[in-house]
Structure 1
């Protein structure tokens, strides 16, 4: 790129210092676009922190206020008091950066304000859904008329709508009246190191993600007693279900076999995966399953859910094993096969390393930039 590409504001529901899928996705897209000569800023929700403009790992980030009304009289009064100054900050960001496109990632309060600003300022919008419409354990979209209404309006008015998987696209069409939805999967940074061998010492299963009901970590704990006592489970992440998971592990006498490692950096997650013998994605629901890509990149075999997102891109028996995690015996059986059969271990690890080459950040951004306005893609009026 020669710098003539559009100026892109990536409007993310969350960003650093928070760590998670959308934060990493947005950061990688920002870096890739900057490397191609685009002018890029990340606009994200301030989450009660001071509204500031700063640099995060070479990317300009604006933390902006996004107050929304609630049903209580006090909530409405609070919203009416806060919204004028909040929107002034969004308007100032537009005047300061002059974006040619607002690219919303993970629609929430960030999307509400981006949609309002885009309509008033006639800035094209792209909406990319990462499963936020149905992965929230607290059903925020079911409870918030504001979010439901704003999302429907954003999908109708968007220049393009993308989803990370067919399941997410189907939800946008079924519940929020989306029209055409393009599938743009997640990406991953693949390491340069070659494949490794399975370890002979104590075997470790690793699971990573938000500790919420939909992620199915409780199902994995229920399956662990069916495996050898020499098999341990490491869980990376934090969330509202952590104490319930710890309690269930104690009830089953698994305190010495289950370790809760807490949240860690992206590099720390990849290292933990490389140190594990198998990575498990036991989700009841999962919009995509970036953990699968990370495990493949780390050279570690994967056992993944057959009832959620990973089933749309994992080929059972070639680059992973697919199993219904709601069946503890089936889940334990799949894990046992990988842990005891070194030939299968090597085959799945090699298959994953081949497949993951298709999921580069360059390929993800190739898809995104085709949705942006440009000389040959005039902005709709």
Structure 2
């Protein structure tokens, strides 16, 4: 019997905020004596592992119906086999608790199976209701309805920030009933090889290249900043917005000072952070902002967005600067101020390094264990 199965919208070999969160929580839960498995949506990825560090990983089909006749027929063909695979997973792992991370098709199926087997479940939102690059919760009728039902039935609901919790209001949840459990960070994550072509000095933006991450706002602010000629801009990550960003960089005449690294492996992220002058998180909406923790760990001064979760844990002028990234004039001035003032940069970076120590995965997993304990008691498990 498995104590907890983490049911995630995505997992390795893909790697982003949710994948990192689930992997580290699974490792730490096991370290705390909680038996754990991971179930993820089967996306037919080559190299998808069947286990990680001895933790079982299963990839399960999660078909959903759609409105077109063709889509309905496809769902009718696929659903029985999908249900059979979910049942096999339930028999194999016999979970006492299902914990849904980043609600999507994974949540729809997990909620249904939990109901079928009378298994308590927890739902954790990572900001998917407003931060999904494809706007699925705005375009779909099924997912919002399924989320509302699941939230009503969940033994507990958690969110990575109060901001993300508040967004659940439109799905029938009182934000006061949502437990905020922030993201964490590996304080001793090893560095690796540096991405090719890094300049000696640079301002860093890192994340998936989608509109919501505001990399275009960072590019515009950097182009307008009064910086020494030897300070470049590094955009680390990849995504559908990359071509537009490359055009913008050319239009602003800073292509010779800008490096697009593409997607990075985790050790490269650590090394890229360690060499930067400044980290800028310019998101139009940010559920939490795990990059801020990574910048803090590296002792970097951080400029963070006022839109979303960062104001809940960043104290402007103390361990970072909070700026509305859509005000690119102010963002540009903040970049200039930090690069021009080494005393300010070091003060912010040193304070951030101290703050990072409070966001260990041990703390995050311990907070989840407390929710499992309370949820099990409420459900009579």
TM-score, normalization: structure 2?
0.93
**Counterparts of 1:376 and 1:136, CA distance in 2:** 31
Give, in whole Å, the separation in 1 of the partners of 2:332 and 2:53.
41
State whether structure 2 residue 191 is matched by structure 1 residue 191.
no
1:15 and 2:11 matched = yes
1:217 maps to which of 215, 218, 237: 215
2:293 alignment partner, SS class: helix
1:1-381 equivalent positions in 2, closer than 5 A: 7-49=3-45, 54-173=50-169, 175-179=170-174, 180-191=177-188, 202-227=200-225, 228=227, 229-373=229-373, 377-380=377-380
Are the counterparts in 2 of residues 219 and 282 from structure 1 also a CA contact under 8 Å?
yes
Other-structure match for 2:194: none
Q: Is the 8 A contact 2:10 2:19 kept in 1?
A: yes
| Contact residue 52 and residue 64 of structure 1 kept, 8 A | no
The structure-2 alpha-carbon separation of the partners of 1:53 and 1:17, relative to structure 1 and needing over 3 Å to count, comes to closer
Structure 2: which 5+ runs fail to align? 191-198
> CA-to-partner distance for each residue in 1:324-361, whole Å, 9 max, x for gaps?
11122211111111111111111001110111111111
Aligned-pair CA distance for 1:376: 7.8
**1:357 to 1:22, Cα distance in 2 relative to 1, 3 A:** same
CA distance in 1, matches of 2:378, 2:283: 41
- CA distance 1:119–1:375, shift in 2 (3 Å): closer
Structure 1: tracts of 5 or more residues without a match: 194-200
Q: CA deviation at 1:192?
A: 8.8
How far residue 27 of structure 1 moved from its aligned partner, in angstroms, is: 0.2
Secondary structure class of the residue paired with 2:65 = coil
Find the residue that maps to 1:9 and give its secondary structure.
strand
Q: Which shifted more, 99-108 or 58-67?
A: 58-67
Preserved contact between residue 100 and residue 373 of structure 1 (Cα < 8 Å) = no
Q: TM-score of the superposition, structure 1-length normalised?
A: 0.93
- Residues matched between the structures, number: 369
Shift of 1:49: 4.2
Whole-Å Cα distance in 2 between the matches of residues 269 and 149 of structure 1? 37
Moved over 4 A (4+): 49-53, 373-376
- Name the Cα RMSD after superposition: 2.0
Distance 1:313 1:338, change over 3 A: same
Q: Retained in 2: the 8 A contact 1:285–1:307?
A: yes
